[in-house]
Structure 1
Amino acid sequence: MPEPSPAFGGNITDRLQRALAARGLDQIDPGPIDNTPAEDEPGHPEYHRRRRAEWNLKRWAAVTPYRYQHATCTHPALQQWADKVAADPRSAGFLLLTGTFGTGKTHESYGAFRRIADAGPDRYEVIATTAPDMYALMRPGGSERGTEYEVKRLKKIPLLLIDDLGTEKVSEFTEEATYRLLNERYNESLPTLITSNLPADSRDQKGVKQGPDLIEKLGERIADRLREITRIVPMDGPSRRRGAA
């Protein structure tokens, strides 16, 4: 029995090729196919950075007081420090913000932590505490988990904020606890942000004290260590709190 002839008289693929050749379209090279994912698709670095940033910002919000939920970082020194933390935490070091009440130290600090989270680093673990709350947890009986647990947690957390250092009463305990904590974090190159209403050293060029300072509140040993291992950023200007009142 003879083979049935094609319904359209010949192989349709051959006919299509002849038609394209007649129009000079058979020599067009479509070029390489780009299978690279777009920025909003899994596999693209920016896609995964955004996902990390979303997760990090949730963690930031969980440790941030309501008052500072909209905090942003505007001070150039803090922006620079935050960007270093996001890119290479071990190189960022310590930052000490000093200034009187209401000059924006705490606001800028939480803003800096937000900036770090939004950069989408692979790891974002943070403790934000005030110095009085920190010492309360570190004292015997101050935590259900135990003093050593709290001390170790503060020493090892990748990112730490200690707000209002120097407001607590001076004691042998606070001096020793502060020194141990700062020294351990310095040795491990863990970024640490500290704020204080007091200057690190209020002495003028002649060595005359101009007012209270961290030497007086924490002792010469701690103040010297802070001057040695931190970059000190004075926060000057009018009180934000008075302006908002």
Structure 2
Amino acid sequence: MPEPIRLGSNAAMAAIRARLERRGIVLPPAGPVDDAPNPDEPGHPEYHRRARAEFALTRWHNAVPYRYADAAPIAAEPRIGAWAQRVATKPSEANSLLLTGNTGTGKTHQAWAALRMIAEAGPVDYQLIATTAADLYGRLRPGGSDQGTEHELRRYTRVPLLLLDDLGSAKASEWVEEITYRLINERYNACKPTIFTSNYTTEAPRDPETGRVLGPGLDIILGDRIVSRLAEMTTVVVMAGRDRRRAA
């Protein structure tokens, strides 16, 4: 008895082709089968990355102030781009970013550029709140929000991505220190990436010979327990140069 022909085998296909040819039906030569989607079709990772990026960029454009709508990262600071890429791929492992330097050196511009880079990478979850320290404290003071202080503080602590501009610019007080500590400590514990900008370094500048304090630092303005967390959770990028606003 002849060996049975297995369906789908080369012999089975040859037998089917021979029968069809006897009936005058000629099949074209079989080519390679490629059922994998291309980058322009649903199912391909690049297709879905582009869709996420389009959605994230819409949110970025809705949030960015008009002055920074053309924000782009400067080539001289690859650490900003590297941090943004880490946030886009593994936000819980990216840590945070502290841009420090004198007034007018482009810290806020670069913060918005970093947020744009994250959006363009197509992250899975792109939710952000951007605020200045002054506006943050204003909303968290009694009467600053109809929702109440605790509700507003939860928004800032839980949002996946936060930009806090001009850290250390508010007048020092026990209340400011406590609110700042609660915000930073919550985000530190949850490993949520944050961009801070500040005119101050984390440690107050001191005379190398006498140790005398030469000016304020975030450790003096906000306290050691806040700065200790900032030191661990942030990549510090110093923005050098002259005040660009006055130069313009």
Shorter-chain TM-score bucket reads 0.7 to 0.9
**Cα shift at 1:38:** 1.8
Q: Name which of 146, 149, 152 aligns with 1:150.
A: 152
- 1:121 and 1:221 map into 2 onto residues whose CA distance is 32
Aligned AA (2:230): L
1:42 paired to 2:42:
yes
How many residues are treated as equivalent by the alignment?
225
- 2:64 and 2:207 map into 1 onto residues whose CA distance is 37
- Aligned residue in 2 for 1:226: 230
Q: Map of 1:77-88 to 2, 5 A cutoff?
A: 77-88=79-90
**Cα shift at 1:240:** 2.6
Change (3 A) 1:134 1:106: same
Q: Name which of 185, 188, 197 aligns with 1:186.
A: 188
TM-score of the superposition, structure 2-length normalised? Answer: 0.84
Q: Percent identity?
A: 52
Aligned AA (2:86): K
- 1:205 and 1:42 map into 2 onto residues whose CA distance is 61
- 2:232 and 2:120 map into 1 onto residues whose CA distance is 30
Q: Map of 1:73-222 to 2, 5 A cutoff?
A: 73-74=73-74, 75-201=77-203, 202-206=205-209, 207-222=211-226
- Aligned residue in 1 for 2:8: none
**Cα shift at 1:187:** 0.6
CA RMSD, 1 decimal: 2.0
**Cα shift at 1:199:** 1.6
TM-score of the superposition, structure 1-length normalised? Answer: 0.85
- 1:89 and 1:228 map into 2 onto residues whose CA distance is 16
CA deviations over 1:113-133 (Å, ceiling 9, x no partner): 000011001110101100000
Preserved CA contact (<8 Å) 2:129 2:162: yes
Aligned AA (1:61): H
1:67 paired to 2:67:
yes
**Cα shift at 1:15:** 3.9
**Cα shift at 1:214:** 1.5
Question: Where does the alignment leave 5 or more consecutive residues of structure 2 unmatched?
Answer: 1-19
- 1:42 and 1:221 map into 2 onto residues whose CA distance is 49
**Cα shift at 1:39:** 1.2
CA deviations over 1:181-234 (Å, ceiling 9, x no partner): 111111111001100011212225443323222223223332333223322221
Aligned AA (1:203): R
- 2:59 and 2:127 map into 1 onto residues whose CA distance is 8
SS at match of 1:97: strand
- Aligned residue in 2 for 1:32: 32
**Cα shift at 1:29:** 4.4
**Cα shift at 1:76:** 1.0
- Aligned residue in 2 for 1:56: 56
- 2:135 and 2:30 map into 1 onto residues whose CA distance is 66
Question: Where does the alignment leave 5 or more consecutive residues of structure 1 unmatched?
Answer: 1-10, 18-25
- 1:182 and 1:239 map into 2 onto residues whose CA distance is 29
Aligned AA (1:70): D
**Cα shift at 1:96:** 1.1
SS at match of 2:117: helix
SS at match of 1:183: helix
Change (3 A) 1:179 1:146: same
CA deviations over 1:63-105 (Å, ceiling 9, x no partner): 1111011101222111111000001000111221110011111
* Larger Rg computed on CA atoms: 1
Aligned AA (1:124): Y
